[in-house]
């Protein structure tokens, strides 16, 4: 009996030691505050398994509009931010919430609308297109969520010389939602909408919508990544967060971004500076 008891105690001790062993520790996890465009386009589903396989680090993505993502990071609710509103990103760094911003990738915005194009914007420049939509009071869906896309839309109205507050009416629908739900709304009512190309390419419920305006240099859409400053929030997982950033801008990460395509068409183009 003593032999059995000693054997049981030894087994229990080994089990306890095994539970405390680093080999059985939970994998490191970081929180990345990012945009609905990166999440809804399917990019993260493509690249994150590759990063985890390389490093063992789990990435939890919180997909928000860019403004909300930056606010989450300001509160210390994220380790890394990956967003697309350069003025807001530069402000975030200037405020000391990150020490640096790095280019990661880019795509572009496209102005989408009904195939019969009641406002007559097809093939126009983005400024003329917005003026025509406002003049026609054609249905327009805005994300209205402080996202990078929403900021780009508001800049477009301003650059077109349109005082949106003065002209907006029932034709302008502010939905306060991400890119996918906003596109669903535009599809259901046959409205114009500004979207990032990545989400549009992955969007299935297009209805009668099509791309009407593209290629204008004002529609360029760069994405940047930042590690939240641990001086502001000591809980930031600096080592793991920086590992994610380093992988994104490495040749391996940039290739993973470039390789993500739908029907042979890339959704994002790598842009990390070499050296």
What are the tens digits of pLDDT across the range 135-182?
Answer: 999 999 999 998 999 999 999 999 999 999 999 999 999 999 999 999
- In Å, what is the CA distance from 271 to each residue of 98, 102, 243? 20, 9, 18
Coil/strand/helix, residue 2: helix
Displacement of CA 174 from its chain's centroid (Å): 20
Helix, strand, coil share of the chain (percent; to 5): 45, 25, 30
Sort residue 187 into left (φ over 0), alpha (ψ -120 to 50) or beta.
Answer: alpha
Task: From residue 263, give the alpha-carbon distance in Å to each of 36, 201, 267.
Answer: 21, 9, 10
Predicted model pTM: 0.83
CB–CB of 227/241 below 8 Å? yes
Domains of the chain, start order: 28-106+222-270 (3.40.190.10), 109-219 (3.40.190.10)
Q: What is the pLDDT of residue 37?
A: 87
DSSP single-letter state for residue 210: E
List the pLDDT tens digit at each of the 275 positions of the chain.
Answer: 444 444 444 444 444 444 444 444 567 999 999 998 899 899 999 999 999 999 999 999 999 999 999 999 999 999 999 999 999 999 999 999 999 999 999 999 999 999 999 999 999 999 999 999 999 999 999 999 989 999 999 999 999 999 999 999 999 999 999 999 999 999 999 999 999 999 999 898 999 999 999 999 999 999 999 999 999 999 999 999 999 999 999 999 999 999 999 999 999 999 998 65
Query: Rounded to whole angstroms, how far apart are CA atoms 51 and 2?
Result: 51
């Amino acid at each position: 009996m003593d032999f059995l008891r000693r054997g049981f105690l030894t087994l229990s001790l080994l089990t306890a030691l095994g539970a405390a062993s680093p080999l059985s520790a939970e994998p490191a996890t970081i929180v990345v505050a990012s945009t609905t465009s990166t999440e809804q386009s399917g990019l993260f589903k493509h690249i994150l398994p590759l990063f985890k396989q390389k490093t063992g680090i789990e990435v939890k993505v919180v997909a928000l509009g860019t403004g909300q993502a930056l606010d989450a990071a300001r509160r210390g609710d994220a380790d890394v931010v990956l967003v697309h509103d350069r003025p807001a990103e530069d402000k975030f760094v200037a405020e000391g919430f990150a020490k640096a911003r790095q280019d990661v990738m880019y795509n572009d915005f496209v102005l989408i609308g009904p195939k019969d194009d009641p406002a007559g914007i097809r093939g126009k420049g983005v400024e003329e297109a917005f003026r025509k939509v406002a003049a026609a009071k054609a249905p327009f869906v805005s994300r209205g969520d402080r996202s990078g896309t929403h900021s780009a839309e508001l800049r477009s109205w301003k650059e077109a010389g349109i005082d949106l507050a003065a002209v907006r009416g029932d034709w302008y629908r502010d939905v306060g939602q991400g890119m996918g739900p906003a596109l669903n709304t535009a599809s259901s009512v046959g409205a114009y909408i500004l979207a990032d190309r990545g989400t549009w390419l992955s969007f299935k419920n297009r209805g009668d919508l099509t791309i009407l305006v593209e290629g204008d240099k004002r529609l360029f859409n760069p994405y940047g990544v930042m590690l939240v400053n641990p001086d502001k929030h000591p809980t930031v997982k600096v080592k793991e967060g920086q590992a994610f950033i380093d992988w994104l801008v490495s040749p391996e990460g940039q290739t993973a971004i470039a390789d993500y395509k739908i029907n042979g068409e890339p959704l994002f183009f790598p842009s990390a500076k070499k050296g």
